[in-house]
Amino acid sequence: VPLLFNSNDLIVNPGEQVQLDCGIIGNYTHCVWEKDINILKVQDVYVGIHSGLRRPDNTEGNQCGIVVEQASKETNGRWTCKIYNKQYGALLGFKNIVIT
C-alpha cells in the first residue's frame, strides 16, 4: 500500500508543536484528519480555516500532513489520517498523541 505514515506514539509536553505527517506515493483525491468527532479537511487547514493548525514546512511525501501549533489536553488521543485514492479507496493511518 502506498501510504507513507509512521504510527508510533508521539509523546509531547503541553504547548509544544506537534507535526502529524501523512502522505501517499502517487495521486490522491483528498485527505482528512479525524480526532474524536472532529473531521479536519487538510485543504481547509492549509488555507487557514482552523486556528492553531497549519501546513507543514515540507509536504513532499507528506501531502496530507498538518501541524498543531501548541499541544493541549484536546490534542491528546488517537488521530486518524484518511487519504482517498481511486485505486486503493480510503487509506488509513493511526497515531496516538500523549500529552505529558
Q: Report DSSP state, residue 75.
A: T
Q: Which pLDDT tens digit goes with each residue over 49-67? A: 999 999 999 999 999 999 9
Q: Report DSSP state, residue 46.
A: H
Q: Is it the case that residue 1 has pLDDT exceeding 90?
A: no
- Give the whole-angstrom CA distance, residue 28 versus residue 38: 21
Q: Which pLDDT tens digit goes with each residue over 70-82? A: 999 999 999 999 9
pTM of the predicted protein model = 0.93
C-alpha cell at position 35: 480526532
